[in-house]
């Protein structure tokens, strides 16, 4: 009989908790980098949550009805690497194949924060199976978890039937003082309280320490009162080492209806010298050899042992979360099989959604806009497309940061409805004036395999940017719809006129940015975006009407799928000057092209709605659109000129914005800043030496 077999459950609990602690200590110490304090303090919580409470099957970490665990204070990542290793969580690849190998090995933990290790410095969704979302920027995890909770509510409302609780999982989010100081967490908490997301539990590590020292330097609010004001249920456990009390509190959460839960956990790290413990907790410093010995001694641990996993610990997790998760997944799989017989169409939807596939006929009835000199605003064309897509794709939904009527993102077809606490089947999400939380919630929806969009004015992409960046980092197909993309709102002035935003988003790796030039390009932009499985997309759309080009004269809008295409060419080809434009300036380039051709100047117009898509094309295609021999190139865009030198070259020019805008009617602004056909013609002639 092994020593572990002779232990009581309480002794095995303590041994498992201390294994999490010491793995964290050793990993940080070897890496000479990281945060040992928080993992040491929260080990009892994470142990209790995973081994006693959560429904999670380590053998199938993408089982759709699993409980979700989000570590918003992602600097404590060793908590997650330890528990993923000890539970034997298995790896899954990008094609959703179970690989049969550990998600996080002990060797990964030994190489914590090193190149190639599956134990990076912060949780990374696309890199390590068992990570539900990438965290690190404080507050992002909390806000993303609200999107996850919305998704679960919506999924249950659409797919559950009497006797078939296909979706009934919970979301557990661990956060710290830093998360709750960040504005995004406040936005998200307010929204979650309004929506009554009773499947959401935030667990607040109330340790009173940040990098600068005690939190009373800057954070003295009554957090409990604040969350009660948001409409949350607030619980408190005063001893973070009491696993039984933590389990009881989590049981209260699961029984609470109509309100999300905040569990305040009062933590304090007890080892070594108090000054050292505060430093390690806040600053992310290794403890040092002597402090490591003191900490291990306090746990009754062999002081010289490193990366020790005692006999019985893995087996204890297997008997807890392993057995419970396997049983829950087995029951769910059997339930789904019966559901598939009773509701085959709904089951097919679930299968397609989980694979990020699209239903057959998803793009049927997309509008085709006739040629029209007056034209259609990009936002209006977008609204028509969204209403078609939402009817064709059952799990496609979204909303705006209080700008639905202006963004034209409201889904108006019969039965669309609004997602609220009492109507969780609604497909119109109302995020309120909370752009930051909206973008993070869209990521949470996408992580839940729902296809989601969020919308606001392009200028306010600044507020959404951190979550957009994380969508690119996580390789999620989140969709961000931004209207009022240039100076079309005229009189509102420079505070509402985006200048540097296109360049900023184009600089973001992995993000597709599209600025379509007429209504049919808007349609094709959505057609492209909806087929993305591992990339987020931004659509920048006009407020004002843009002429709808006659595609019998000009190239078809399907060229959008190549990022850039030859829209109009000189008679017989062989251009001597190339005009490149996107968005509202495309029609301006077309008009200038007509004037140039009339004067015998061989002009070509290239519509370039997306740099990123164009860069994915073959060199042959790109050279066909922008022949290297043609040095006279002129780009026209109501935005910063930054980056356009890539396409116009050293001999080309750009008509763009070198300053902020101004408050005036649109036509006056176009005149002031040179966005007029004659200016384009004159600039093209100058490039050719024909001024």
Q: What angle do CA 455, 459, 462 make, to 5 degrees?
A: 85
> CB neighbours of 65 closer than 8 A, spacing ≥ 6?
55, 166, 167, 168, 169, 328, 329, 332
Secondary structure in 3-state letters for 354-423: HCCCCCCCCCCCCCCCCCEEEEEEHHHHHHHHHHHHHHHCCCEEEEECCCHHHHCCCCCCCCCCECECCE
What DSSP string runs through 538-585?
EEE--SSEEEE--TTTSPPGGGGGGS-EEEE--TTS--SEEEEE-GGG
Q: Which residues of 148-168 are buried (b: 16+ CB within 10 A; e: fewer)?
A: bbbbbbbbbebbeeeebebbe
Query: How far apart are alpha carbons 262 and 141 in whole angstroms?
Result: 15
Buried b (16+ CB within 10 A) or exposed e, 98-135: eeeebbbbbebbbbbbeeebbbbbbbbbeebbbbbbbb
435 given a catalytic annotation: yes
Q: Do residues 375 and 546 lie in contact, with contact meaning Cβ atoms separated by under 8 Å?
A: yes
Round to whole Å and give the CA distance between 165 and 156.
Answer: 7
Phi then psi for residue 69, to 5 deg, are: -120, 125
Q: Which of 291, 435, 524, 612 is catalytic?
A: 435
Burial 282-319 (b: 16+ CB within 10 A, else e): bebbbbeeebbebbbeebebeeeeeebbbebbbebbbe
Residue 483 pairs with which residues in a beta bridge?
Answer: 457
Residue among 145, 129, 17 nearest 82 (CA): 17
- Count of other CB atoms within 10 angstroms of residue 477: 20
Whole-number Å distance between alpha carbons of 435 and 455? 8
Q: What is the separation, in whole angstroms, between the first and last Cα of the chain?
A: 95
Closest CA to 451 of 407, 405, 394, 403: 394
Q: What share of the chain is helix, strand, coil (3-state, %, to 5)?
A: 45, 15, 40
Distances 217 to 74, 208, 209, 277, 627 between C-alpha atoms, Å: 23, 10, 10, 18, 61
d(CA 298, CA 307): 17
Q: At what angle do helices 378-392 and 519-530 cross, to 10 degrees?
A: 40
Residue 82, SS3?
Answer: helix
Which of 587, 602, 462 has its CA nearest to residue 521? 587
Rounded Cα gap, residues 129 and 105, in angstroms: 12
Q: What is the largest CA-CA distance in the chain?
A: 97
> Could you give the residue numbers annotated as active site?
435
């Amino acid at each position: 009989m092994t020593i572990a077999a002779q232990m009581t459950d309480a002794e095995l609990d303590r041994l498992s908790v201390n294994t999490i602690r010491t793995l964290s200590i050793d990993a940080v110490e070897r890496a000479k980098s990281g945060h040992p304090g928080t993992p040491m303090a929260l080990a009892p919580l994470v142990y209790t949550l995973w081994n006693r409470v959560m429904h999670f099957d380590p053998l199938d970490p993408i089982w759709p009805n699993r409980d979700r665990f989000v570590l918003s204070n992602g600097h404590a990542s060793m908590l997650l690497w330890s528990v993923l290793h000890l539970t034997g969580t298995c790896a899954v690849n990008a094609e959703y194949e179970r690989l049969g190998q550990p998600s996080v090995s002990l060797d990964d933990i030994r190489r914590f924060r090193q190149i190639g290790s599956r134990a990076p410095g912060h949780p990374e969704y696309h890199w390590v199976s068992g990570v539900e979302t990438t965290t690190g920027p404080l507050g992002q995890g909390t806000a993303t978890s609200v999107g996850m909770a919305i998704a679960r509510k919506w999924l249950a409302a659409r797919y559950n039937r009497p006797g078939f609780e296909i979706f009934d999982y919970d979301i557990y989010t661990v956060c710290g003082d830093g998360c709750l100081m960040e504005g995004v967490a406040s936005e998200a908490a307010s929204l979650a309280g309004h929506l009554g997301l009773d499947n959401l539990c935030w667990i607040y590590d109330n340790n009173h320490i940040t990098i600068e020292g005690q939190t009373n330097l800057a954070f003295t609010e009554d957090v409990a009162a604040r969350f009660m004001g948001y409409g949350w249920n607030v619980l408190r456990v005063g001893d973070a080492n009491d696993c039984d009390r933590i389990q009881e509190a989590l049981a209260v959460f699961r029984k609470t209806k109509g309100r999300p839960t905040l569990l305040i956990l009062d933590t304090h790290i007890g080892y070594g010298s108090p000054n050292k413990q505060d430093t390690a907790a806040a600053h992310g410093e290794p403890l040092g050899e002597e402090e490591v010995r003191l900490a291990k001694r306090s746990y009754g641990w062999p002081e010289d042992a490193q990366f020790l996993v005692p006999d019985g610990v893995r087996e204890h997790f297997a008997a807890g979360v392993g057995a419970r998760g396997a049983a829950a997944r087995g029951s769910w799989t059997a339930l789904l099989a019966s559901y598939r017989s009773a509701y085959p169409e709904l089951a097919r939807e679930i299968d397609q959604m989980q694979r990020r596939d699209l239903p057959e006929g998803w793009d049927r009835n997309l509008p085709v806009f006739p040629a029209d000199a007056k034209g259609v605003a990009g936002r209006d064309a977008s609204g028509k497309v969204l209403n078609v897509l939402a009817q064709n794709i059952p799990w496609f939904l979204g909303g705006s940061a209080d700008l639905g009527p202006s963004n034209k993102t409201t889904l108006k077809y019969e039965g669309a409805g609004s997602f609220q606490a009492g109507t969780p089947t609604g497909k119109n999400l109302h995020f309120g004036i909370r752009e930051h939380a909206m973008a993070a919630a869209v990521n949470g929806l996408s992580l839940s395999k729902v296809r989601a969009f969020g919308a606001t004015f392009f200028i306010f992409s600044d507020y959404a940017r951190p979550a957009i960046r994380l969508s690119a980092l996580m390789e999620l197909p989140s969709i961000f719809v931004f209207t009022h993309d240039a100076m079309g709102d005229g009189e509102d002035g420079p505070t509402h006129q985006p200048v540097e935003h296109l360049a900023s988003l184009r600089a973001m790796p992995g993000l597709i940015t599209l600025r379509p030039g007429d209504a049919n390009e808007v349609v094709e932009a959505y057609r492209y975006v909806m087929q993305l499985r591992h990339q987020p997309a931004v659509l920048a759309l006009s407020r004002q009407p843009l002429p709808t080009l006659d595609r019998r004269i000009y190239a078809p809008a399907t060229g959008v799928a190549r990022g850039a295409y030859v829209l109009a060419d000189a008679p017989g080809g062989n251009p001597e000057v190339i005009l490149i434009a996107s968005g509202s300036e495309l029609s301006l380039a077309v008009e200038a092209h007509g004037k140039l051709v009339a004067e015998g100047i061989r002009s070509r117009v290239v519509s370039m709605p997306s740099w990123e898509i164009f860069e994915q094309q073959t060199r042959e295609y790109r050279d066909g659109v922008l022949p290297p021999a043609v040095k006279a190139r002129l780009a026209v865009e109501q935005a910063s000129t930054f980056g356009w030198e890539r396409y116009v070259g050293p001999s080309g020019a750009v008509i763009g914005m070198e300053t902020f805008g101004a408050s005036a009617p649109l036509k006056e602004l176009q005149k002031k800043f040179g966005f007029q056909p004659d200016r384009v013609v004159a600039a093209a002639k100058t490039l050719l030496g024909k001024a």
